[in-house]
Structure 1
Amino acid sequence: MEVANIIEVTLQDCDGIEPALKERAQARFLREIERFFPDEQSMIDAWRSYTDAAEGSEITGEQEQLARSWLKAFDKARQAGFQGIAVEEAYFDVRIA
């Protein structure tokens, strides 16, 4: 699944890290999150459900399940992204078009 055109991942608050290392971390994060979902629409639906829940919107049971899948995927992707780098305050910012 190629979703690079709809998802933007940036590693934030990682001052002093080499640009190449930052790019590899972002690429690992993106690869891992892509693996978690069967297709682009599934990823978008999970992300939307998660953001709706995080903003306090009322969501259905199905949307809650999707939001939980986003959290699980994000955690796995975050772990993959940080593999081999040591940054204390850094985080991955994800935006979907």
Structure 2
Amino acid sequence: MEVAIVIEVTLQDCDGIEPPLKERAEARFIREIQKIFPDEQSMLDAWRAYMDAAEGGEINAEQERLARSWLKAFDKARQAGFQGISVEEAYFDVRMG
């Protein structure tokens, strides 16, 4: 039985932005990051490797490669998400499970 991976993306610290605009930014972010990875499991593996590295855990060469792939994908998705909006301190918070 295959379990669906849930990705939750929220645009944080974006005071004053209209809710529909915020929702569109979050949707653009998710669409873009999903396009980069071949499947949900690959995306989850890269995110986990990045989280392990960010928390100071020891990672092997493969995990480092995965973490770097997450960083590149995140940056591309972030750019897509912020397209057409300008907020100074805003950032995308990503959680998966």
- TM-score, with structure 1 as normaliser: 0.94
Q: State the distance in 2 between where 1:14 and 1:28 align.
A: 16
Q: 1:61 to 1:47 in 2, by over 3 A?
A: same
Q: State the distance in 2 between where 1:56 and 1:19 align.
A: 35
Contact persistence 2:11–2:93 (CA under 8 A): yes
Question: Paired residues, what number?
Answer: 94
Paired residue for 1:60?
Answer: 60
RMSD of aligned C-alpha atoms? Answer: 1.1
The 3-state SS of whatever aligns with 1:22 is helix
Query: What amino acid does structure 1 have at the position aligned with 2:35?
Result: R
Q: Is 1:82–2:82 an aligned residue pair? A: yes
- TM-score, with structure 2 as normaliser: 0.94
Paired residue for 1:93?
Answer: 93
Q: What are the superposed Cα offsets for residues 51-84 of structure 1, whole Å, 9 maximum, x if unpaired?
A: 0000111001000000000000000000000000
The 3-state SS of whatever aligns with 2:30 is helix
1:1-97 aligned at under 5 Å gives the runs 6-97=6-97
Segments of structure 1 that go 5 or more residues without pairing to the other structure are none
Displacement of 1:90: 0.2
Segments of structure 2 that go 5 or more residues without pairing to the other structure are none
Query: What amino acid does structure 1 have at the position aligned with 2:72?
Result: K
Stretches of 4+ moved more than 6 A in 1? none
Q: Identity of paired residues, percent?
A: 81
